[in-house]
Amino acid sequence: MKTILVTCAIIQFEDKILAVQRSETMKLPLKWEFAGGKIESGESELDCIKREVFEELNIKIEVKERLTPVTHQYPNFKIKLIPFIAEYLSGELKLREHCSFLLADKDELITLDWAEADLPILKEFIEL
């Protein structure tokens, strides 16, 4: 089966981290994730994450660091999820696809019901 390449961003707003919840009509309904999405043909990872965050949340970010990619097999598809740490730069946050968001600290982040592919990413981030 084809592996879908997806970027995601752990976006820091001062001392809080942005988590977003997938809406009921998306795949993996109501799971929490980091904003991001599929890499388009010919697009760089960095262009992808900046584009997806702007499309989904209406904000600009500055990407700081790339963490370790995670390959995960869901029942019906397989993804390679490429995580970045980023900082909020500008814009008013608007949810264009997700049903809710949370600005949380690390302790609160781990209590959410995450998309499974995000769990190793969360662990790496929390241990930084």
Ligand X SMILES: Nc1nc2c([nH]c(=O)n2[C@H]2C[C@H](O)[C@@H](COP(=O)(O)OP(=O)(O)OP(=O)(O)O)O2)c(=O)[nH]1
Interface contacts to ligand X, rule CB under 6 A: 6, 8, 26-28, 33-34, 36-38, 79, 81, 115, 117-118
Both tokens assigned to 28: 């993996």
In eight-state DSSP terms, residue 117 is: G
CB 31 within 8 A of CB 100: no
Kindly tell me which of 16 and 26 has the beta carbon lying closer to ligand X: 26
* Nearest distance from C-beta of residue 116 to ligand X, angstroms: 7
Kindly tell me which of 89 and 119 has the beta carbon lying closer to ligand X: 119
* Nearest distance from C-beta of residue 37 to ligand X, angstroms: 3
